[in-house]
A and B are shown apart, each in its own frame.
Chain A
Amino acid sequence: MIQLPSIIANTASVVTQLAKYLFVLLILLFVLLDFSYFSRKGQKAKNALVAKQIVIIFIFDTLGYVLCFLHTANLFYILMLGGIYAYLFVTLSGYRMMYPKSSMLLVNNMLMLLSIGFVIIGRLDLAEALKQYVIASGATVLAFLVPVIIRKLHFLDKLTWLYAILGIASLVVVLALAVTSRGAKLSISIGGITVQFSEIVKITLVFFMAAKLTEKDPIPFRDVVITTMVAALHVVILVLSTDLGTALVFFIAYIVVIYVATGKAVYPLAGLLGGSGASVCAYFLFNHVRQRVEAWRNPFYNYDTTGYQISQSLFAIGAGGWFGTGLFLGRPETIPVASKDFVFSAICEEFGGVFGIALILICMNTFLLICNISLKIENRFYKLIALGLGAEYGFQVFLTIGGVTKFIPMTGITLPLVSYGGSSVLSTIILLAIIQGLYILREDEGEERERERKRLGY
């Protein structure tokens, strides 16, 4: 960092003070538009709303990166901002040209969350932001293929065992790594790119469960048992590799899918009971589980060891208060892994608690959009996929934000789209692309029905 002349430094901090309220205003407006979308009548009004959101996203990124530049005098931030513009432009026009029927609201939510990530990661570490940017761009381009695949491949629900085998094989690789590195590594490096398999398995697991549970109607008990066993195998391998957060996400996805597929409350209840039992066992069996619970109950008691991370996180959120310290005026760099698991604390520190709440609302809106697809689509296989993926997304948001705010014990999991982490961003972008694919199917389906209704003349 270059030492700035005091006049520039002063200007920067004045602008930052102003900007912090602007950031809050922008995101609140975004959330408001998010939640008023369905009350807007007519496609025109909806398009106008979406356009406003796009403007907000552009202003947000601009403001964030200009502030970064003012505080560091590093021109690369301006370059990076240009790159972000290009990315936003390609993504927005890509969806409009290739999939005019996709949910533009969902695209906007994705871009807003990514933008928040770009700004806070960029503020913490420009190199990480660049990496995040490259991976997000690649993933988005890759994701453009997903709706076509869903549309054209009619045998996706026949690949039941392929999903299971892919998932378990990947996790076994992770476990082997975890064992050889004593739990320190949950990812594998291929040609310089680190892949965290469990992120990808999130998707295959839901596909497996959805495929298995829609093979026959009504669902034979045997299929329920098979699904349970395969899902349990996933969870157990993850627990053994000490990736507790992802294990919990899988477990919740299983509970949700089995419940909505069968419509019987007894399965999820039994599952939750078993899960609670397993948690208690894990508490007594695994030292790291005990440590996390201990750190949650009393972060300051073990301040120097296990309580350190969560303490720093709480100090950060506390320092931020409602409106934050302003970008670069807090000390989020004192939070361990601030750009990954604790990104929410860093955001709360510099953007403030109100911004944090708005961020949660955007995540909730994204979740509701996914739920909406699952409710409206008719095909049961797709219904299950939509809700299964939605549950994973929603629960992951809960685990990470609840963890860093000490609402629940810390599990060590990323905030989808916002946290730095290639695999996480990739898998979430793909996940949302699958949802887009389903959304497009449903739009087609809705149009068919509308046409038939007209034809029949009532």
Chain B
Amino acid sequence: MKERNANVSGRDWDTDSESLTEEEIGRDVRKIMNNGRGRPPYPDRQSGRGRRIDEINKTVYTDEGLTSYETPRRELTKEDKKRLKRQEASERRMRRRINAPYTFISYAFVLVFLMLIGYLVYFNIYERDSIQNSPYNKRQDSQTRYVTRGAITAADGTILAETHTDESGKESRSYPYGNEFAHVVGYDTNGKAGLESVCNYDLLASHYNIIDRVTNEFTGQKNPGDTVVTTLSVTLQDTAYSALGERRGAVVVIDPKTGDILAMVSKPDFNPNTIAADWNDIISVNTNSQLVNRAISGLYPPGSTFKIITALSYFQKNATFADFSFDCEGVLENSGHTVHCFDQTAHGHEDFELAFANSCNCAFSQIGLDVGADALRSTAESLLFNQTLPCLLGGKKSSFSLRASDGNADMMQTAFGQGDTLVTPYHMALIASAIANEGVLMKPRFVKRVESIDGNVVSKNDPETFKTLMTRTEADQMKNLMEKVVTNGTGSGLYTDWYSAAGKTGSAEYRREDGQTGTHSWFVGFSNVEDPDIVVAVIAEDSGAGSTTAVPIAREIFNSYYSS
């Protein structure tokens, strides 16, 4: 045996069947390793390096010199083979242990690669549309090479905007109703606005049937873009538009149960058909700012319509209106500050309902002082003041800035809607919507569905709840107050046997450019109080008291709704 070890280089390998101990095999191999060329076996050419691995592999490693032997000179016994196999197994285990961190790193990186892929998939499914629709994205317009811009229609399918192509292939966008839908439908030349802007992606996508589409692609024909079906009602828009007349201002009509925007008018307006030609006039010195959609971006002092918020805050604090009474003398003084009722009318003895119906500034100043700035603020913010409103077309935030430290004078002014508070007509319509719909604000909806030119629905917006702004009891209480405004208060102009109505008027004072005090005429309310049908918000700039201008406009809209 010793002899065999000595001759381990193999020239005359002992053939005796005596089994080898592992230690002996190890010695064998070390001999092999150090034999011949005097170099340890491949790949460890450097002594001391990688020693650990080499020792694990000692039974199988061989020196290059050995490779010249073609066949083993000695058959291994079964035991030898078994042992060798065992050793190989332990060697494999050892290698696995050394390789563990390597494997871990590989898996970690594979995970990172998969995350990249996952994110790309996520991006294409969820983020793509908003990226495509970004107003900064000019790339959409390259679609116009392949797609004819789709139409925008009213809820009943009446065309509000469409593209005509003449024989020479020249396209023009036409708006059959001209100025009437100017702000809400928008325009597509000289930039984009309104639905033309926010629905740009849908209008330039074509879901025309696939065979025609491919044929068109191959023949170089344009595909027809999809149609955007809005929630707008031509009748109501018509009525609101003509009722507002030449006045500046805005009208918003909403279905409180679905959130559908039925009409949205803003004046002064412009003609989207000729906007390219009129552009210089529109943007030049004149300060009409007729491109601004006042319904969603006009910030106005709310005037007495804000008493809805103050009243709600009072109810939230006291849980009842029954304990309130007030003697109005037309003027109220507190901490050196005086407030007047509109036209300095003295309303006499009032309970809460009457104070609200009379729109009594003195009473509401007192209510404001009772409620306090913090409570009023929290009510206002629960009604979405200082927050971005849910609106497809964008628009401004209403602002409520009163703080407890501002003092009584500001408190009193704010309580009846003057002070620094600013609202958009759209926002007032949303608040009235929530009151009309048992406290629940539906997500305002401009687009009912998008369909392909051949009438297949591409995407659909079903009515959905946006947020509960107040409890059902609170909503009922507010409804009751607002109904009294019509039955025996400033909104009596709406009183009729035809339908019931509820609302709140406002006469919001502001400083005109000529330095005089002007009055914006406000109304916000709804019809069919038991089961409200439509909510109307009206503001007519510089048009006097709410009851004189805004209420008649609202009446025309209600009448129009019930006569069709």
Binding site for B on A (CB under 8 A): 6, 10, 13-14, 17, 154, 157, 214, 216-217, 256, 259-260, 263, 300, 303, 311, 314-319, 321-322, 330-331, 334, 348, 353, 356-357, 360-361, 363-364, 367-368, 371, 374-375, 377-383, 387, 390-391, 394-395, 397-398, 401-402, 405-407, 441, 444-445, 448-449, 451-453, 455-458
24 contacts between A and B (CB under 8 A): A6-B220, A14-B217, A259-B101, A260-B105, A315-B134, A317-B131, A318-B123, A353-B123, A357-B121, A360-B113, A361-B113, A367-B109, A378-B44, A379-B49, A379-B50, A380-B49, A381-B49, A391-B105, A391-B109, A397-B116, A398-B116, A451-B67, A452-B61, A455-B62
Given A318-B128, A360-B116, A378-B57, do A256 and B139 touch, yes or no (CB 8 Å)?
no
In the complex, whether B103 has a CB less than 8 A from a CB of chain A is yes
Contacts of A377 in B (CB 8 A): 43
Question: Could you tell me if A458 and B139 are in contact, using CB atoms closer than 8 angstroms?
Answer: no
Question: Could you tell me if A375 and B102 are in contact, using CB atoms closer than 8 angstroms?
Answer: yes
Given A322-B124, A364-B110, A391-B109, do A263 and B100 touch, yes or no (CB 8 Å)?
yes
Question: In whole Å, how far is A378's beta carbon from the nearest beta carbon of chain B?
Answer: 5
Contacts of A330 in B (CB 8 A): 142
Binding site for A on B (CB under 8 A): 41-46, 48-54, 57, 60-62, 64, 66-67, 69-72, 75-76, 81, 84-85, 98-103, 105-106, 109-110, 112-113, 115-117, 119-121, 123-124, 127-128, 131-132, 134, 136-140, 142, 217-220
The residue of chain A having its C-beta at the shortest distance from the C-beta of B70 within the complex is A455
Name the prevailing secondary structure of the B interface residues. Answer: helix
Determine which of B99, B106, B132 lies in contact with A319 in the assembled complex, contact meaning CB atoms within 8 Å. Answer: B132
Given A360-B113, A448-B67, A458-B76, do A263 and B99 touch, yes or no (CB 8 Å)?
no
Q: CA of A353 to CA of B116 in the docked complex: distance in angstroms?
A: 12
Question: Could you tell me if A300 and B136 are in contact, using CB atoms closer than 8 angstroms?
Answer: yes
Question: Could you tell me if B139 and A334 are in contact, using CB atoms closer than 8 angstroms?
Answer: yes
Question: Could you tell me if A17 and B49 are in contact, using CB atoms closer than 8 angstroms?
Answer: no
Contacts of A444 in B (CB 8 A): 42
Total A-B contacts with CB atoms under 8 angstroms apart: 183
Question: Could you tell me if B217 and A17 are in contact, using CB atoms closer than 8 angstroms?
Answer: yes
The residue of chain A having its C-beta at the shortest distance from the C-beta of B71 within the complex is A455
Given A303-B136, A334-B139, do A378 and B43 touch, yes or no (CB 8 Å)?
yes
Q: CA of A394 to CA of B114 in the docked complex: distance in angstroms?
A: 12
Question: Could you tell me if A321 and B43 are in contact, using CB atoms closer than 8 angstroms?
Answer: no
Question: Could you tell me if A368 and B106 are in contact, using CB atoms closer than 8 angstroms?
Answer: yes
Question: Could you tell me if A360 and B120 are in contact, using CB atoms closer than 8 angstroms?
Answer: yes
Question: In whole Å, how far is A329's beta carbon from the nearest beta carbon of chain B?
Answer: 8
Q: CA of A260 to CA of B85 in the docked complex: distance in angstroms?
A: 28
> Can you list the 7 inter-chain pairs with the closest CB atoms, starting with the nearest?
A318-B131, A371-B106, A364-B113, A379-B43, A260-B101, A452-B62, A407-B119
Contacts of A406 in B (CB 8 A): 123
Determine which of A357, A395, A398, A441 lies in contact with B43 in the assembled complex, contact meaning CB atoms within 8 Å. Answer: A441
Given A360-B116, A378-B53, A379-B44, do A458 and B66 touch, yes or no (CB 8 Å)?
no
Q: CA of A402 to CA of B137 in the docked complex: distance in angstroms?
A: 21
Determine which of B48, B99, B115 lies in contact with A217 in the assembled complex, contact meaning CB atoms within 8 Å. Answer: B48
Question: In whole Å, how far is B327's beta carbon from the nearest beta carbon of chain A?
Answer: 54
Question: Given contacts A314-B127, A395-B109, could you give 6 more A-B pairs where the C-beta distance is less than 8 Å?
Answer: A371-B109, A375-B103, A398-B116, A448-B67, A451-B62, A452-B66
Given A14-B218, A368-B106, A382-B43, do A375 and B123 touch, yes or no (CB 8 Å)?
no
Determine which of A10, A368, A381, A448 lies in contact with B110 in the assembled complex, contact meaning CB atoms within 8 Å. Answer: A368
Question: Could you tell me if B132 and A318 are in contact, using CB atoms closer than 8 angstroms?
Answer: yes
Q: CA of A451 to CA of B51 in the docked complex: distance in angstroms?
A: 22
Question: Could you tell me if B76 and A456 are in contact, using CB atoms closer than 8 angstroms?
Answer: yes
Question: Could you tell me if B139 and A214 are in contact, using CB atoms closer than 8 angstroms?
Answer: no
Contacts of B101 in A (CB 8 A): 259-260, 263
Question: Could you tell me if B139 and A316 are in contact, using CB atoms closer than 8 angstroms?
Answer: yes
